[in-house]
Amino acid sequence: MDREERLEKIYDKALEMFVANGYDQTALSQIAKELGLTKAGLYHYFSSKEDLLFFVHERHMNRVFNPILEAAQKISDPEERIVYFIRNYTLKAMTRDASARVLVHETNNLKTENRQKITVLWRNGLDLIRNTLSEMEDQGKIEKINKNFAAFALLGMCSWTFYWFDYERQESGEELADTYVRVFLKGILKAS
Amino acid sequence: MDREERLEKIYDKALEMFVANGYDQTALSQIAKELGLTKAGLYHYFSSKEDLLFFVHERHMNRVFNPILEAAQKISDPEERIVYFIRNYTLKAMTRDASARVLVHETNNLKTENRQKITVLWRNGLDLIRNTLSEMEDQGKIEKINKNFAAFALLGMCSWTFYWFDYERQESGEELADTYVRVFLKGILKAS
């Protein structure tokens, strides 16, 4: 197994255990054991549990969040772009599993410099929405609104999902995403 | 000082210290010291830190959240009622200080039975919104929508505020509350 394969397995297992048992309740030694590594073997890659938490959060953004942003950015029509973002963020980053809940909560446990790096990644979502709202405004499609607050309203509506969503009922994700799309779009668009 | 005055002082000081320094970083002995009590004096009221956390969260709901719900319930027009709830929840429970951020985060640290009691209090907000949406539907005022998901969308939009709001800029709370009112109401109302 090469280094990258090993790191991917560590990411998968550590995230799975953080979600199942909580970050505080998961010891590095337990993660090592589940991976068939010695604790020293895991320390070869991560010098502390905080280091591992940062790695997992950053990789999660690369695996789940960034691809949604990149695909959205390729959509030229701003209204289609925002619909794509709401649907995919809700379905892939929120309702599929409880990873976001654990990772967002545990940002408190990151060192300041690592927390700042993670914040930058999340802020890219805010920028995408804000810029998209600006384009829609330029096209005369939306009501006059504070675009910063509206972008936070949208991200908040979607992100709060991890506090209450029943992950056993995956099938309700589609209707939930549709509800967010309808409420937000209708909430900002000029009546046609 | 009678028991109730003492409890109120403990509530104020403990919440202030949790918000300023974090729950994990605040020892019962520090809270006792700030209150001019011995640790044994504080243990007279609370048998554990978890016990104190539950007391603080429950009292915070009674001081801040429940009065908003009670005032809202007295408003007969459902549209006015929902506007009142959004404005007051945003301004009094979200933008005034970071109490909600700490208390919501630390529900993880409550015993199951205490967490369930707190969840019931928060769910009263969901019920208020859902019932209000039902009334608006009966009056033919809103589009057909999943009222449960719409209620969560509204609570999420408002509650997410504690993740990003700059508490030094209190004056922006009004515009934020107006933005939430406009996006959500326009998002659900039938075009007139």
Which residues from chain B sit within 8 angstroms of residue A143, using beta carbons?
182, 186
Structure confidence at residue B143 (pLDDT): 87
Structure confidence at residue B192 (pLDDT): 65
What CA–CA distance (Å, rounded) separates B59 from B15?
10
Which two three-digit tokens encode residue A114? 């690592």
pLDDT (average), residues A117-137: 96
CATH code for the domain defined by A1-47: 1.10.10.60
**Domain-by-domain residue ranges, chain B?**
1-47, 48-188
pLDDT (average), residues A52-76: 98
Instruction: Kindly report the nearest CA distance between residue B115 and chain A, in angstroms.
Output: 13
What CA–CA distance (Å, rounded) separates B48 from B51?
5
CATH code for the domain defined by B48-188: 1.10.357.10
What CA–CA distance (Å, rounded) separates B137 from A51?
51
CATH code for the domain defined by A49-188: 1.10.357.10
Minimum CA–CA partner of B21 in chain A: A108
Q: Count of CB atoms within 10 A of residue A113's CB?
A: 8
CA B163, distance to chain mean position in Å, is 14
Question: Cβ(A125)–Cβ(A89) under 8 Å?
Answer: yes
Question: Cβ(B111)–Cβ(B50) under 8 Å?
Answer: yes
Inter-residue long-range contacts of A152-155, CB under 8 Å, 24+ positions, other chains counted: A152/A126, A152/B160, A152/B161, A152/B164, A153/A184, A153/B157, A153/B179, A153/B180, A153/B183, A154/A82, A154/A86, A154/A129, A154/A180, A154/A184, A154/B157, A155/A125, A155/A126, A155/A129, A155/B160
Average pLDDT of every residue of chain A: 95
Which two three-digit tokens encode residue A110? 């990151």
Minimum CA–CA partner of A146 in chain B: B179
End-to-end CA distance of chain B: 58
Q: Percent of chain A at pLDDT above 90?
A: 95
Which residues from chain B sit within 8 angstroms of residue A184, using beta carbons?
183, 187
Candidates B108, B160, B183; nearest CB to A159: B160
Provide Rg for chain A, Cα atoms: 19
Which residues from chain A sit within 8 angstroms of residue B123, using beta carbons?
none
What CA–CA distance (Å, rounded) separates A186 from A188?
5
Structure confidence at residue B1 (pLDDT): 78
* Nearby residues of B46 by Cβ (< 8 Å), 6 or more positions away: B10, B28, B52, B55
Give residue B91's identity as a one-letter amino acid code: L
pLDDT (average), residues A71-94: 98
Name which of B64, B122, B54 is nearest B98 in CA terms.
Answer: B64
Written as tens digits, the pLDDT of chain B (192 aa) is: 799 999 999 999 999 999 999 999 999 999 999 999 998 999 999 999 999 999 999 999 999 999 999 999 999 999 999 999 999 999 999 999 999 999 999 998 999 999 999 999 999 999 999 999 999 999 999 989 999 999 999 999 999 999 999 999 999 999 999 999 999 999 999 876
Residues B62-114 have pLDDT tens digits of: 999 999 999 999 999 999 999 999 999 999 999 999 999 999 999 989 999 99
Q: Does the distance separating the beta carbons of A156 and B159 come in below 8 Å?
A: yes
Structure confidence at residue A143 (pLDDT): 87
Q: Does the distance separating the beta carbons of B22 and A108 come in below 8 Å?
A: yes
**Band of residue A192 on the pLDDT scale cut at 50, 70, 90:** low
What CA–CA distance (Å, rounded) separates B140 from B134?
10
Which residues from chain A sit within 8 angstroms of residue B103, using beta carbons?
none
Find the chain B residues whose C-beta atoms sit closer than 8 A to any C-beta of A: 22, 104-105, 108, 143, 145-146, 149-150, 152-161, 163-164, 175-176, 179-180, 182-188, 191
Residues A89-108 have pLDDT tens digits of: 999 999 999 999 999 999 98
Structure confidence at residue B157 (pLDDT): 97
**Band of residue A51 on the pLDDT scale cut at 50, 70, 90:** very high
Structure confidence at residue B141 (pLDDT): 95
Residues A65-75 have pLDDT tens digits of: 999 999 999 99
Instruction: Kindly report the nearest CA distance between residue B184 and chain A, in angstroms.
Output: 6
What CA–CA distance (Å, rounded) separates B139 from B137?
5
Structure confidence at residue B191 (pLDDT): 79
